[in-house]
Amino acid sequence: MELFYSRDIEGGICRLDHDESGHCIKVLRHRCGDEISVIDGCGTMYRCRITSDSHKGVEAVVLESTPDWGAHPYVLHLAVCPTKNNDRYEWFAEKACEMGFDRLSPIIGDHSERRILKTARVEKILVSAAKQSLKAAVPAVDEPVSVKDFIQNHADSTALKMIAYCFEDESVPRRSIKDVLGAYDGTEIIVMIGPEGDFSHEEAEMALAAGFIPVHLGASRLRTETAALTAAASVYYQHM
């Protein structure tokens, strides 16, 4: 199924941006009168008929709209430290989007080697992944914040808050993410995943004080991006 993406759908009129218009008219050779399907990135899919087939700016009239198209039964917010290798972060984001999640916060920890992330690239990847997996909602991507700011900003959140922390050479008791998810009957979930060097002791203490539950993701030692995807897969599986 071929999907277009537009943030400009108003009053029954849908406009495609330059890139999407070029793809629609030049590549797929659509013309006035053709029907196309458009997602708004917020959860609604629109069936539209093209009324202006300029390859610079397609206009179409909305025939039908389907809210919650391809929606999942939970709200998952992943806060993940950027990986040294950008590709690994980008494929985690793509795969997590295919399964279903709602918001990505790149967080910078005391032990983070990579302290910047181009969110625009990740947003592009998430739009493609949402189209590919037939979802009308595209996960939001926040600008990077420090781990400590993220914890502070979510101290009052009533969501199920978890932090995947190794606590190597430490004795903080951890439950498995399966155990914690199984005991939760709400739908709002936040999971924090640390960098290659893990969270600092200070960050972990701060998270626990803010109500984050320390969890492990099973017996295997997982890379940052695999841990993040395992968290997404765990929530997806739990709600299957």
Residues lying near its own copies in the complex (CB under 8 A) are found at: 70, 72, 91, 95, 98-100, 132-135, 176-178, 217-223, 226, 229-230, 233-234, 236-238, 240
Q: Which is nearer to its own copies, 51 or 237 (CB)?
A: 237
Residues 6+ apart with CB under 8 A from 165: 172, 174, 194, 198, 199, 204, 207, 214
Q: Which is nearer to its own copies, 49 or 72 (CB)?
A: 72
- Specify the DSSP class assigned to residue 143: P
Q: Which is nearer to its own copies, 13 or 184 (CB)?
A: 184
Distance in angstroms (rounded) separating the CA atoms of residues 38 and 3: 5
8 Å CB contact between 236 and 72: yes
How far is residue 38 CA from its own chain's centroid?
Answer: 19
Least distance (Å) from its own copies to the CB of residue 165? 17
Least distance (Å) from its own copies to the CB of residue 85? 12
Q: Which is nearer to its own copies, 54 or 132 (CB)?
A: 132
Q: Which is nearer to its own copies, 12 or 218 (CB)?
A: 218
What separation in angstroms does the CA of 40 have from each of 9, 22, 211? 7, 18, 34
Least distance (Å) from its own copies to the CB of residue 99? 6
Distance in angstroms (rounded) separating the CA atoms of residues 176 and 192: 14
Least distance (Å) from its own copies to the CB of residue 55? 28
Least distance (Å) from its own copies to the CB of residue 86? 14
Least distance (Å) from its own copies to the CB of residue 209? 26
Phi–psi pair at 160, nearest 5 degrees: -75, 115
| Residue 46: strand, helix, or coil | strand
Least distance (Å) from its own copies to the CB of residue 238? 8
8 Å CB contact between 222 and 234: no
- First-to-last C-alpha distance (Å) of the chain: 24
Distance in angstroms (rounded) separating the CA atoms of residues 173 and 208: 12
Q: Which is nearer to its own copies, 171 or 220 (CB)?
A: 220
Q: Which is nearer to its own copies, 65 or 133 (CB)?
A: 133
